[in-house]
A and B are shown apart, each in its own frame.
Chain A
Amino acid sequence: MVEVKGVSKRYGSKAVIDQVSVSIPKGKITSFIGPNGAGKSTLLSMISRLITKDDGDIYIDGEDVHQAKSKELAKKVAILKQTNHLNLRLTIRELVSFGRFPYSQGKLTREDWKHVDEAIRYMELEDMQDKYIDQLSGGQRQRAFIAMVIAQDTEYVLLDEPLNNLDMKHSVQIMKVLRRLTNELGKTVVIVIHDINFASCYSDYIVALKDGKVAKEGTVDEMMDRHVLKDIYEIDMKIETVNNEKICVYFK
């Protein structure tokens, strides 16, 4: 379980995250939603120790994230940010093998390579595993980075807008993989996501942030509600049920 207790982050005098407390359930997919600038990515980065916090505490399975040994934490929590620009000449397979660094410190064993192969298979990248990263399309590259995170084999997987710039097919593919990670391997997945309908169809728990505070949190049924979403996004929308999934219509 991830517990965030009274955490704040300030840039100058502006609080981007203001006294946020939230607990993220284990073995589920939790989505952070909210308007631009609500502090979703900042919160995710603090949970994964990419940036420091100004106040409060963050615990993962009872361990203080900002005190823990970075090397040990890397076996427990993996984070993928939304922009992944590399100016290295790497193949997919080489990139994915970096995911084993916390275990092997660069000297990969046969066991490590098994994990690498599995991760590549999981993201269906076998055919192109020897292609260079800079020759890939945006969707393929995103899948390669997610494969690296899978190879890291952590209990907690944090993804910052994993569907950014992906088409429908690849978005669905990635969300299905995340679903499988939780269902089959029991991992806890936390994502920042803008498409409210993907959040509705695939997550178990939704946390809505607004102006650096938690506006509301709850199960999908609780959150996919006209009044709740109107409070968060400040636009009118309709919630329809299609194939037992709650779909939000907000385009007009």
Chain B
Amino acid sequence: MSDKKKLLILSAVAVLLIVAFMFTGLGNNWDYALPKRGLKIFAIVLTGAAIAFSTLIFQTITNNRILTPSILGLDSLYMLIQTILIFAFGSTDLTWMNKQLNFVISVVLMVFFAGILYKILFKREGENIYFLLLIGLIFGTFFQSFTSFMQVLIDPNEFQIIQDRMFASFNNVQTDVLILAVIVLVLVTLYFIRFMKYLDVLSLGKEHAVNLGVDYDYTVKRLLIVVAILISVATALVGPITFLGLLVVNVAYEMFRTYKHSYLLAGSILISIVALVGGQLIVERVFTFSTTLSVIINFVGGVYFIYLLLKENKKW
């Protein structure tokens, strides 16, 4: 099957799932349910695309297929921010209620943190990119420990609210936050377009990329900023969800056995949407909200990785 055909089929499946999500079990309250579902679907598509997009770029830059941008410590930072907000203001305070403000604070702090991280890396020339990952990992662990520490101290009722935030959820996305997210994502995507052609070459590794005339440091720096913004927006929108990226990008690599990022990018975004919408459909209609999307995706993803391992194992 050609890669174009695969993309078409994936798109069809995605559209089908979206239609199923929108129109099954509607009952009589169309006016009420349709806009609400539309909003949710929109948030899902946006997050899925951002996560797949950023993970693919990140893996290409690092030349490593088992890394996700979560290694930069952004998810942990998000949890820390949420915990601090509750710790300082309590769950009933206005800051907590105003999701728009919360979103802006989270995104700004995460991008700011990534900026500092990159500054450290690129201050000294020729620093290995794994140095950045190591620092990110250390900071991530630090944020996590600090988060746990504060969670132990706060009121158990408020801890419940934090726990809610620990899992990605599409069940209460707000319109104004969504509009903000869309604006940021569109701007970032427009900025990214001129770097698109370098992705294939970057996947050959640093030395080949330099040899072929890519301004390596300049390009990688900017792509890393794109990754950080995408992850921050997606995380602030629905919660920590970077685990999804690892899964969908690897499925895309399995499905499209190519190095061409035009196919890989479109493919992983579509797979991501299919996984999220399908997962959400199961959460709402099969389990009637008795489980979360993260659980389902982790379960399916885990099974898939075991399958991959067994399959690769047989080749030897």
Give A residues with C-beta under 8 Å from B.
48-52, 70-75, 78-81, 84-90, 94, 98-99, 101-102, 105-107, 152
| B residues whose Cβ falls under 8 Å from a Cβ of A | 63, 65, 125-126, 197, 200-201, 203-205, 207-208, 210-216, 257-259
CA distance A105 to B212 in the complex (A): 9
The answer to whether A89 and B200 touch across the interface, beta carbons within 8 angstroms, is no
Flag if A74 contacts B65 (CB, 8 Å).
no
Q: Please indicate the chain A residues that have their CB under 8 angstroms from the CB of B214 in the complex.
A: 70-71
Cα separation A105 to B215 with both chains bound (whole Å): 13
A-B contact pairs, 10 of them (CB 8 A): A70-B210, A71-B214, A78-B211, A79-B207, A79-B211, A86-B205, A89-B257, A89-B258, A101-B201, A152-B212
**Are B259 and A50 in contact, CB atoms less than 8 angstroms apart?**
no
A50 touches which of B201, B204, B210 (Cβ 8 Å): B210
Question: Are A75 and B126 CB-contacts (below 8 A) given A98-B204, A98-B208?
Answer: no
> With A74-B211, A152-B212 known to touch, is A51 a contact of B204 (CB < 8 Å)?
no
Decide: A49 and B65 in contact? CB cutoff 8 A. no
Closest partner residue, chain B, to A77 (CB atom)? B211
From A71, A87, A89, B213 is in contact (CB under 8 Å) with A71
Instruction: State how many angstroms separate the Cβ of A137 from the closest Cβ of chain B.
Output: 19
CB distance from A93 to the nearest CB of B (A): 12
Contacts of A85 in B (CB 8 A): 205
Neighbouring A residues of B205 by C-beta, 8 Å? 85-86
B213 touches A106 (CB 8 A): no
Secondary structure type dominating chain A contacts: loop
Nearest-CB distance from B34 to chain A (Å)?
Answer: 42
Instruction: Please tell me which one of the listed residues A80, A87, A98 contacts residue B201 in the complex, with CB atoms under 8 A apart.
Output: A98
**Nearest A residue to B60 by beta-carbon distance?**
A88
C-alpha gap A214/B86 in the complex (Å): 66
Closest residue of chain B to A145, judged by CB?
B208
- Across the interface, which residues of A come within 8 angstroms of B125, CB to CB? 52
Interface pairs A-B: 4 shortest CB-CB: A74-B213, A71-B213, A102-B213, A101-B212
Contacts of A105 in B (CB 8 A): 197
CA of A86 to CA of B206, assembled, Å? 11
Please, which residues of chain A bring their CB within 8 A of the CB of B258? 89
* Complex contact A49–B210 (CB within 8 A): yes
Q: How far is the CB of B121 from chain A (nearest CB, A)?
A: 15
* Residue picked from B125, B210, B212, most chain A C-beta under 10 Å: B212
Contact between chains at B259 and A70 (CB < 8 Å):
no
* A51–B126 CA distance with the chains assembled, in angstroms: 7
CA distance A79 to B205 in the complex (A): 13
Interface centre among B126, B201, B213, B258 (most CB of A within 10 A): B213
Closest-CB distance, A147 to chain B (whole angstroms): 14
B213–A88 touching, CB < 8 Å: no
Instruction: Provide the residues of chain B in CB contact with A99, threshold 8 Å.
Output: 212
Query: How far, in angstroms, from A99 to B205 measured CA to CA in the complex?
Result: 14
* CA gap between A74 and B216 in the complex, in Å: 13
B60 to chain A, nearest CB (A): 10
Q: Are A81 and B213 in contact (CB under 8 A)?
A: no
Q: A87-B63, A105-B197, A106-B197 are in contact. Are A48 and B204 (CB under 8 A)?
A: no
Task: Kindly provide the distance from the CB of A187 to the nearest chain B CB, expressed in whole angstroms.
Answer: 16
With both chains docked as a complex, state the minimum distance between the C-beta of A199 and any C-beta of chain B, in angstroms. Answer: 24
Cβ contacts under 8 Å, A52 to chain B: 125-126
Q: Which of B125, B204, B216 has the largest count of A CB atoms less than 10 A from its CB?
A: B204
A99 to B63, CA, bound (A): 19
User: Nearest residue in A to B212 (C-beta to C-beta)?
Assistant: A101
CB distance B207 to A50 under 8 Å?
yes
| Residues in B whose Cβ lies below 8 Å from that of A84 | 208
Q: Which residues of B contact A88 (CB under 8 A)?
A: 203-204, 259
